[in-house]
Structure 1
Amino acid sequence: MALQDAILAALSNGESSGYDMAKAFDVTVSNFWTASPQQLYRELDKMETAGLIEAQVVQQVKRPNKRLFSLTDRGREELRNFTVRAPKPTAIRDELLVQVEAMNLGDAAAIAANVQDKLAASESKLQRYERSQSNLLEGRSEQTFLSEADHLGPYLTLARGITFEQENIRWCEFVLTTLADRTATL
C-alpha cells in the first residue's frame, strides 16, 4: 500500500489540513500506517499535482495561512479502485524479532531491555488508542456506535490497532517471563 492510499482513505472522512492530517496519522492512522510529517507533505503536494486532491487556502490571523485538502472526483475514483484490489499478504518485518532470534549469540540482557522498551511503548500506544476509542464512542456502547456511525472505517481500524498492541504486550510479557524463568534456573 502506498502512502497515497492512506491519505486518500483519511480524506474520505472529510477535508483536512496537512497539520491536522499529520496529527491524525500519529494518533489514529498510526495503528496501520506510519509516515513522518515531511513524507506526508511531500505526498500531498504530489497528489495535488496529480489531481487526486485539491487544496483550499484558508486565511488566518496571527498564524500562517493553511491549506485544507479534499478529494477530487479523480481521487475518489482512485480510492474506489484501491478498495477493490486484493491486498498483499501482511508480512512481519520487526527488528526486535531478529534480535530475539539471535539471542543465543547476542547480548541477552540488552535484548531483554529492548523487549521491555517495546512493552512500555505498546502499553503507551494502547492507552492512546483506548482514549481515541472512548472519544469516538462518546459514551455510547460499541454496538450502538457500530449501528449508528456515519464512518465505520476509523473505528474498525482503531479496533485492529488495539488488538495489535494487546498482542504485542502479551508477547513481550511472555518473552520477559521466559527469560526470567531461564535466568532463575541457571
Structure 2
Amino acid sequence: MSLKYAVLAALLEGEASGYELSKTFDVSLANFWPATPQQLYRELEKLAQDGLIQARVVQQERRPNKRMFTLTEAGREDLRAFAATPPRRPTAIRDELLVRIQAMDGVDPGVTRAQIEERLTWARAKLARYERVRERLLDGRSEDEYLGEADRIGPYLTLMGGIGFEEQNVRWCERALTLLERRAALARRG
C-alpha cells in the first residue's frame, strides 16, 4: 500500500491543510501508517495532479497563505475501491529494536536494558495519547453509544488497533526487562 490511501482516508474527516493532515497523522494514523511532513506534502501534490483531491488557497493576513485539501468524487471512488479490496498479504513486523535484541548477546546488558526501557517509555506515551484521543472521540458517551451514533467508526476501530499494539509493546517490554533481570541474577549467583 502506498501513502496515497492513508492520505485519502485522512481526508474523509473533511477539508484540511497540509499542516492539519500532518498533525492528524501524528495523532491517529501514525499507529498504523507513519509519514514525515515532507512525504505528506509530496503525496498531496501528486493526489491533486491525479484529480483525487482538490486544493484551494486560503488568504491569510499575518501568515503565508495556506492550501486546504478536500477529496474529490474520483478520490472517494478510488478509496472505496481500495477499501473493498483485500490486502495482498498479512502485516509483517519490521522493527529495528528486535534486530538489535536478536544480536544482543555479547553486548553490555545495560545497553540492551536501556533500549528496551526507551521503547517502554515511548509505548506508554503513545498509549496515553491514544487514550486521550479515544476520550475525545467518545466525548462523554459510552462505547456502545458512540458506535450507535457515530457516522463513521473506522477511526475508532483503527484507534483500538493502535491501543492494542501499544499495550502489547508495554507487555513485551516489561516481560523482556523481567527476563533480563532474572538472567543477571542467575549470573551473579553462578
Q: TM-score, normalised by structure 1?
A: 0.97
Q: How far apart, in 2, do the equivalents of 1:72 and 1:32 lie?
A: 24
Between 1:174-183 and 1:76-85, the stretch displaced more is: 76-85
Query: Unpaired segments of 5 or more residues in structure 1?
Result: none
Query: Unpaired segments of 5 or more residues in structure 2?
Result: none
2:114 is aligned with 1:108: no
| SS of residue paired to 1:12 | helix
| SS of residue paired to 2:13 | coil
Shift, 1:104, TM fit: 1.9
Q: How far apart, in 2, do the equivalents of 1:153 and 1:84 lie?
A: 14
Q: How far apart, in 2, do the equivalents of 1:172 and 1:47 lie?
A: 39
The equivalent residue for 2:124 is 123
The equivalent residue for 2:48 is 48
The equivalent residue for 2:148 is 147
Shift, 1:108, TM fit: 2.6
Shift, 1:14, TM fit: 1.1
2:91 is aligned with 1:77: no
Q: How far apart, in 1, do the equivalents of 2:108 and 2:15 lie?
A: 49
| SS of residue paired to 1:40 | helix
Provide the alpha-carbon RMSD of the alignment. 1.0
- What does the per-residue CA deviation read over 1:82-116, in whole Å, with 9 as the maximum and x for residues that have no partner? 11221131000001111111122333321211011
AA matched with 1:66 = K
Shift, 1:180, TM fit: 0.5
Shift, 1:58, TM fit: 1.2
AA matched with 1:119 = L
Shift, 1:127, TM fit: 0.5
Q: How far apart, in 1, do the equivalents of 2:150 and 2:109 lie?
A: 48
AA matched with 1:69 = F
- How many pairs are equivalent? 186
Q: TM-score, normalised by structure 2?
A: 0.95
2:36 is aligned with 1:36: yes
Shift, 1:46, TM fit: 0.7
Q: How far apart, in 1, do the equivalents of 2:64 and 2:92 lie?
A: 41
Shift, 1:12, TM fit: 1.5
The equivalent residue for 2:9 is 9
